[in-house]
Structure 1
């Protein structure tokens, strides 16, 4: 059985696989009724247990950052389609869909956020409404979908740090001779060789100066 495709299978196909691989006869409705709150809680515990088993493999990496940060928070989301009859509760951009928001704390191996939303809910809005959980010296690592100037400003105000990509409409300013100048990406890029990087101590980001 291809375990990676289980989430995409219909109840009928799952029942057929149970009969083929495990000699277990079960109707579609019988399988559906087994997804009880207790079954969901069990699957959550399996998930968190598997996460904890990964901690030893990450210990050599995380020890490097313990002296610098209280927590390493990695926030990401994943979306998937649902049958059309779920559309009233879980709307997507085209069809019915759900989104899982998951935030993992790397140093302790714990889950900070696990939330199921509609597929068309905004990642940036989710990040904004969870910023009250940020503590001093946290490092927040997020992809471009969570980008929001208001959220980044709040992270900074709480004494925490962040790693993020910039949207294409965001301008970057650096301070030279006491004045702010817009960052010239093309000029800087032309001066860098392959694999080289540049670090700037103080920058200002925004739509305009």
Structure 2
């Protein structure tokens, strides 16, 4: 399956087993993102344990996933551990409405990043298209204040990935598929963080080939 052109739209919405087929196809192409997001979890463990902070933002469904990420860090992913500082900028309703009322729409997240971001902190931005103007502006502002900017996007090339310090780009033509794999990326990041902190998760790191072989042996 080829990636859609920038402004192209799939001809139809995949349903039932076709939806699952799109997800399986995209999952096969997701392997390159796994070491990226695993590495994010490792680095976050050290940053947050040392008093650093994570900021996250997205629009629409990606806003919900950004809030999911911060909830996993302030609360817990699976096993109990201490809470970490994580703020979802999409959930700050009073700030959002005040900024939209007084400033250009592109400042929606960028102004919050400037307020809360500190050098060395991490900004996670999620966009299925990678073209949301308010997130691209936030990425630029985050880099300007000295933050690490990690983007979860759809297919490359896109402006958000280009403005970020690192990215995980899901190669899939459908928004739903991209969002589904963004959730996988968030869970892999959280699992790697807990593994680094030695919080009740497997310390085995298998390559895709090793994992496939392990599954065959268990079949």
TM-score, normalised to structure 2's length? 0.30
Under a length normalisation based on structure 1, what TM-score does the superposition of the two structures give?
0.31
Structure showing greater relative contact order (alpha-carbon pairs closer than 8 Å, 6 or more residues apart): 2
Greater strand fraction, Structure 1 or Structure 2: 1
